[in-house]
Amino acid sequence: MKLSMRWFGASDPVTLPDIAQVPGVDGIVSGLYDLPAGEVWTHESLGSVKQQIEDGGFRFEVIESIPVHEQIKLGTPERNRYIDNYCESLSAAGEAGIPVVCYNFMPIFDWTRTNLAEQLPDGSTALSYRHADVASIDPLAGDTDLPGWAAAYTKEELRELFDAYKPVDESALWDNLAYFLERVIPAAESAGVKMGIHPDDPPWSIFGLPRIITDKDALQRVINLVDSPANGLTFCTGSLGANPKNNLPQMVRQFGEQGRIHFAHCRNIQIKEYRTFHESPHPQGSLDLYGVMKAYFEVGFHGAMRSDHGRMIWNDKGLPGYGLYDRALGSVYLSGLWEGIARENGRIPTRELAHV
């Protein structure tokens, strides 16, 4: 397991020297966050981020994410141009020596929360989701705030996208994912890059849009779409765990044994009621992170893992979910669990990567 943290580049209030003080973190997960979806990522632009990461003493472990253009998810004729661009970006990632690329296949919205700063009893704040509130938000109204997404599209763009998705049901979205993977996985193979699909967050339909990457059967179906080691998963406990029917340790075993988990997001959530949860400290919540880490250990997981989101504590600064302090606590909790499990199994973990 290679402990990593996400860094949003030079504009991130959390700096690489900050991350360097988090024990055990050797890897950085990053990307080109100023480019619109669909653009080609060049070796030069990736090389510059990579250089900053390496100058900070880290390895660039994972690109999170190269966004998939909506035309690809919609399955329109224009998708071919964007798929070609995607393949070029994968080849640039390979050329830059970045081994894993994360992506998602969620229509229009990526992760969705209804409150970006819910006050918890201990005085911290956390991202939270209440399905009843989603029903009262009309993303097309423009006057209602959709936390995290309000500024991502103009009202007109959103309306066009919602219209375009009308004929796209779950089955069409699966077809469009298959079409995409059949073309990009061979490109990933030749680039020496592994792809990891991120599950839908939350793992159910929102605003009437289809969401398909929601449970064990869906993840297995993705893997079966194109049988290649380059076609794998970003296993996100917080996303999948929002549905209590998802048995996370069992899923880690199933997909880890197939060698298809290429990247791990490990965070906790507190489920309050049906489809209502807030993000919680890593050691406290509804999810069995010990069981998850044990499963990772048992399947011999060697990929990058990050503590994923944290609460905002101690007047921290950062993008929503991405302050320094709680993610650092989470990282130390995860590496502590890992060390305990390794020692119980007669192994003293060595760091798999020294600072470069």
Give catalytic residues, as residue numbers: 198, 236, 265, 308-309, 322
**Which CB, 26 or 64, lies closer to ligand DNO?**
64
Nearest Cα to Cα of residue 135 among 251, 276, 249, 1? 276
Count CB neighbours of 85 within 10 A. 18
Helix (H, G, I), strand (E, B) or coil at 354: coil
Binding residues for ligand DNO restricted to 284-323, rule: CB under 6 A: 309, 321
Element (H, E) at 344: helix 325-344
Binding residues for ligand DNO restricted to 51-70, rule: CB under 6 A: 64-65
Stretch that binds ligand DNO, among 39-47, 104-112, 202-210, 335-343 (CB under 6 A): 104-112
Measured from the CB of residue 72, what is the shortest distance to ligand DNO in angstroms?
Answer: 13
* CA trace torsion 287, 292, 293, 296 (10° rounding): -160
- Choosing from 46, 102, 223, 337, the residue that interacts with ligand DNO (CB under 6 A) is 102
Cα 160 from Cα 157, distance rounded (Å): 5
Stretch that binds ligand DNO, among 98-106, 146-154, 180-188, 256-264 (CB under 6 A): 98-106
Stretch that binds ligand DNO, among 35-43, 100-108, 151-159, 250-258 (CB under 6 A): 100-108
| 110 part of the interface to ligand DNO, by CB under 6 A | yes
- The structure tokens 């969705």 sit at 112
| 50 part of the interface to ligand DNO, by CB under 6 A | no
Measured from the CB of residue 272, what is the shortest distance to ligand DNO in angstroms?
Answer: 20
148-154: list long-range contacts, CB under 8 Å, 24+ apart: 148/111, 148/112, 148/113, 148/116, 148/320, 149/109, 149/112, 153/108
Residues that bind ligand DNO (CB under 6 A): 64-65, 102-104, 110-111, 198, 309, 321
